Every structure is written in structure tokens, then in C-alpha cells.
Structure 1
Amino acid sequence: MNVAVLGLGLIGGSVLQALAAGGHRVVGFDADPATRATARTAAARARTGTRWEVAGTVRDALAGTDLCVLAVPFPALPSVRRELDGYLGLVTDVTSIKGPVRELMGGLRFVGGHPMAGKETSGFRAADRGLFVGCAWVLGLEPETETADWLELAALVTGLGARVVPATAAEHDRAVAGVSHVPHLLAAALTGAIENDPLAAALAAGSFRDGTRVAATRPELIAAMCGGNAAAVGEALDEVIHTLRALRTQLSEPDPVAALRPLLAPANATRSAWPPVPGDQAELPARKDVLLRLGRVGGWVIGVDRPHRKVTAMRPETDRNPS
């Protein structure tokens, strides 16, 4: 497949390199000349057969391609979208919010996407062609989504080693608010608590490191992510605040140890059961209702049979009725 990747940061650069390593012809573009230069240098050093091209303009990158991957930050999408007018290929994105992106993409053959992978570091130098191996990659299914387009992307994504999770934009945005966006805000709050406490900073160890890793993400990226999904993030944050207040109340009880235990037990059970254990493998028809049900029960697609419009799917062992 001939693919254009617009935006060569961590995710876009990783997509570019992964597709090139998979044998696809890939052309990248980034608005930053320094990033383009870095990507060109890296391409020249890559092994033959895994190299990519870097274009000087969006139009040059799109020329002759079948697929465009939008990997620019959400605030930059409207201007990039205008340059896609007249593009006949399939379009997807890697943005961490889906509802607003879906609204922007009217008039295009569009399937929203979001690989649940990343690092606290950013930029093309942080890119890694193996970043998506084993990760969940959401592909949006909406009333306007063409099933053939969805299957084409699902085949491409599973070819990169990712697990495809079908979901609507609204379902995605609600889910990631709790598991991705709010954790960035919590990490920022936890990190801020030691800003003026050098003793605490010296004593911080594993729990602080693991709980605050994403606070090292560039602030503008966190703000765009959370602000772009403000309604869902607000609701998820309210739930966390409610839980924190309940925990704070228990600390004032005569026996705080006994009072805290029942509130902490459900979280322990949930975390101990994560990630979901794969159950049975199934061959499913590539119907929207079947695919969306698979996603809603926590299942994923690992293979695609496009000619027969079927998928090979896995579901958690807790679910026994994928269709």
C-alpha cells in the first residue's frame, strides 16, 4: 500500500517506520523543517527495504497514495483537513479523541483510529517501529463507516502487530477519559505535590515513578488531549474526586485502617484482573453490530479475511457470547 503520514512526532514517526518495515511505500511530512531533516537522515541510515521518503509539502506527500494517516496534534487538524479537499484515498488518524475529529472529517473516506501506545518522550527521535506490537488500536465504526474501508485498515493495523478494538467515537472518548486522560491529570497533580519538597523528591521511588510517568509529557499535548475531550474527562474526573473524598473521609475515622480497607478492596481486585486474559478465539462476520459488541465486551480483532468479510477475534475469558 502507498501511505502518506502527516505529522512525524512519536506516533507518526513510529507509524512511518513500522509501515516501511512492513514493506509499504511510505511518504512522511511534518510542518517543522528540522523534523523533516531528522526523518530524512534516519531514512538514509535505515536498511534497504525499510526506508521511507519525506516530502516538502502536504500535497507532495499525498500524491499517488491510497491512505493518509493524520498524526498531527488535535489543534493542527483543521488546517491539515483543508489540504485534504479532493483527496480520494482512505483517511485515518491517531488522535486520542475521536468525536471532534469525526466532525472535522466529513466528506472524506474516514475511519478514526487511536493506537493505545506511547511514551512520555516525544518527537521523531523517540519513534520506534515496534511501538505498536501488542497494543490496542481503536478503529472507529460509525453509521457512515464503510465496512470495506474498516477492514482494509484493520488488516493494515494487525499487520503491525496491534490488536484492533472496534468502537464508536463516543464510546472511545468515554473510555479513554478514564484510562488515559484523567491519569495524565492525576500524574500532574501528584508531581506538583512535591514541587517544593526536596525531601519527598529524594525519597520518591517506584510508586511515585509509575504513578507520575506521564507527567513528563509535553504540557501542550496533555492540554490538547484533555481539553479536546473536556466533557468526558470532566465526568471521569468527578468520579475520581468523589472516590478521593470518600477515602479522605475514612482517614478521619477512629480506626482509619479498618475504614479504608473496604474502599480499597474493589480497586485491588480490578487491578489484579488487568489486563484481560484472552479467552476463546472466534471467526466472526464483519458486521458492524457484531464488531461493536466485540469491542463492548473488551474483545479485539487479530486477523482479517477481507475477501470473505470475516475477522479472527479474541474475547476476554469472562465473555462467552461475542455475536
Structure 2
Amino acid sequence: MIIGIVGLGLIGGSLGLDWRAQGHQVLGVSRQTSTCQRAIERGAVDQASQDLGLLASADVIVLCPPIAQIFPVLQALTPHLSPQALVTDVGSVKTAIVLPCQDHWPRFIGGHPMAGTAEQGIEAAERGLFVGAPYVLTPTEQTLAADLDTLINLVNDLQAQVHICSPEAHDQAVAWISHLPVMVSASLIATCGQEADPQILALAQTLASSGFRDTSRVGGGNPELGLMMAQFNRTALLQSLTVYRQALDQVVQWLQQEDWAVLYQYLQRTQAERPPFL
């Protein structure tokens, strides 16, 4: 199969490495000539170019630019597409992407590989990145069963775990476990940074270790990605933040009332509820 990848960063490059290892021919497109050359050198693609026309022969095309660029890239790509071409994406938000993209190109299926590292760019691409990781596909009523089967087979080539759901269900689920944590973590960092006493702030920074590192990691990540999560999954994220704020208010109330028994029961419950998420 001939697979086209637009965007040769961590995700696009890693997809290329794995699919080429499975015997697929991979064609890549990037805005930077240097990225194209490096992707070829690293074995992520067979050919690479800045020209979307390179993908005219592709059977499946994966769009890996930032969320805000996915639909514009599809529009620019359309004149080069074979009528039989199947298009998917890797964006972490689905409803705002799938609906316009499928209206524009009916053979579009949303996708979201939930794997990655803190690094970016083609140099961060690695073999086996998706092994055992969730890979969500979000077909709609318009989706052809054969197209969905094609993507499922490609995801299976990655040894990822396929999950099928609607775009809307995906967005609410990731609001809880991905987008909400980014905003909570960012707020934690900002709150700690508001310590007015420079000596206490310096001491806190010195003492911070695994607990702070774990809870602040996603809030200290890529600001562009965090902003796009908020912009493109606004409704689901607002709902999640509202419920979270209510939970915090309840904890504040227990502290004010020194209701230690109820707080202890709450912490027991959260301890028991955590494992299924992991």
C-alpha cells in the first residue's frame, strides 16, 4: 500500500518508520526541505517533498499538522487526491475536525493515536512508539465499512490498540483524561508561582521532586497544543472544568469545617477509582 504522510514530526515520522518496516511505501510532505531530507535519511519515508502533489498516488493519506491546520491542509491537498484516496488525521480533537473534513472529502475518517513523548520534530520519531497504545478511530454514518477496515488493518500493523467511537464521545473522554489535566496542571504551576515571598518560592522550587514533577508535567508542555485543545474542544473542556471546580470547592469546604472523616473517605474513594484509568 502507498501511504502519504503530511507533517513529518514525532507522530508522522514514527508512523512512517513503522509502516515502512511493515512493507508499505511511504511518501512524506513537510514545509521544510531539511525535514524532508532528514526523514529520508532516517528511513521514515521512501520519498519526501514540500509539494503535496507527491501524494497523488497514495492510497491512504495521514494528516499530521497542528489541529488548526488539518482542514486547510486537506483543502490544499484535494486537487492532488485520487478519487479513491482515504484520508485520516492524528488530531487530539475530533468533532471540530471530522465534520468539516468529511463534508469536504467524504472518504475521511478521524484518528487519534494516543502516544508521544515530550520531544518534537523528525529527530524525535521512533520505531514502536504506538505499540500497546490506544489508537482511536471515529467513523460516522457516512463512513464506508471497507475504509474503516483499511485503517484498522494499518493500526494493527503498528501493534496499537484500536478503539472505535463517535467524534463526540472521543472529545468528551479526552476532555476528562487529557485536556482537563493540562489546564489543571498549568493552574498548579501558575498558583505555586504566585508565592509572594522570594525565599519561600526558591525553597519550594528547590524541594520540588517527583510529586510536583508528575502533576506539573503536562501543564509545562507545548503551549500551542494546549491552546488548540481549548479552542477546538471548548464545550467538553468547559464541562470538565466546571465539574472539577465543584470538586475543589467541596474539598475547600471540608477543610474549612475540619471534616476529616469525610475527607478521608473521599481520599479512600479516589485511591480505589484510580487504577481503572491506568
Fold-level similarity (TM above 0.5): yes
* Pair 30,216 (structure 1): closer, same or farther in 2 beyond 3 Å: farther
Structure 2 residue 95 is the aligned partner of structure 1 residue 110: no
Unmatched segments (≥5 aa) in structure 1: 44-49, 276-323
CA distance in 2, matches of 1:59, 1:216: 37
Residue 112 of structure 1 aligns to a residue whose secondary structure is: strand
CA distance in 1, matches of 2:202, 2:51: 48
CA distance in 2, matches of 1:10, 1:118: 7
Q: CA deviation at 1:75?
A: 1.2
Unmatched segments (≥5 aa) in structure 2: 196-200
Question: 1:56 is matched with which residue: 50, 66, 76?
Answer: 50
Q: Give runs of aligned pairs for residues 58-77 of structure 1, distance below 5 A.
A: 58-60=52-54, 62-77=55-70
Q: Give runs of aligned pairs for residues 115-134 of structure 1, distance below 5 A.
A: 115-134=113-132
Question: 2:258 is matched with which residue: 254, 274, 278?
Answer: 254
Question: 1:138 is matched with which residue: 131, 136, 139?
Answer: 136
Question: 1:158 is matched with which residue: 156, 159, 173?
Answer: 156
Moved more, 167-176 or 219-228: 219-228
Moved more, 63-72 or 112-121: 112-121
Aligned to 2:234: 230
CA shift digits 1:224-257 (9 cap, x unpaired): 12211001011011111111111111111234x3
CA shift digits 1:58-87 (9 cap, x unpaired): 111x12110000011111123211123252
| Contact kept in structure 1, 2:14 and 2:125, CA below 8 Å | yes
Aligned to 2:198: none
CA distance in 2, matches of 1:112, 1:136: 14
Letter in 2 for 1:67: V
CA shift digits 1:194-251 (9 cap, x unpaired): 3362211211111211112223322011111221100101101111111111111111
CA distance in 2, matches of 1:214, 1:32: 28
Structure 2 residue 85 is the aligned partner of structure 1 residue 93: no
More strand by share: 1
Aligned to 1:40: 40
Q: CA deviation at 1:13?
A: 1.5
Q: How many residues align?
A: 267
CA distance in 2, matches of 1:217, 1:54: 29
Structure 2 residue 271 is the aligned partner of structure 1 residue 268: yes
Structure 2 residue 219 is the aligned partner of structure 1 residue 215: yes
CA distance in 2, matches of 1:80, 1:166: 25
Letter in 2 for 1:92: T
Residue 84 of structure 1 aligns to a residue whose secondary structure is: helix
CA distance in 1, matches of 2:41, 2:91: 26
CA distance in 1, matches of 2:126, 2:189: 27
TM, length-normalised to structure 1: 0.78
More helix by share: 2
Letter in 2 for 1:270: E
Question: 2:175 is matched with which residue: 154, 157, 177?
Answer: 177
* Pair 254,266 (structure 1): closer, same or farther in 2 beyond 3 Å: closer
Structure 2 residue 74 is the aligned partner of structure 1 residue 81: yes
Q: Give runs of aligned pairs for residues 284-323 of structure 1, distance below 5 A.
A: none
Question: 2:203 is matched with which residue: 196, 199, 206?
Answer: 199
Q: CA deviation at 1:95?
A: 0.3
| Contact kept in structure 1, 2:32 and 2:50, CA below 8 Å | no
Residue 129 of structure 2 aligns to a residue whose secondary structure is: coil
* Pair 232,20 (structure 1): closer, same or farther in 2 beyond 3 Å: same
- % identity of equivalent residues: 35
Moved more, 110-119 or 26-35: 26-35
Residue 274 of structure 2 aligns to a residue whose secondary structure is: helix
Structure 1's consecutive aligned runs of 4 or more residues displaced over 4 angstroms after TM superposition are none
Moved more, 30-39 or 174-183: 30-39
| Contact kept in structure 2, 1:253 and 1:259, CA below 8 Å | no
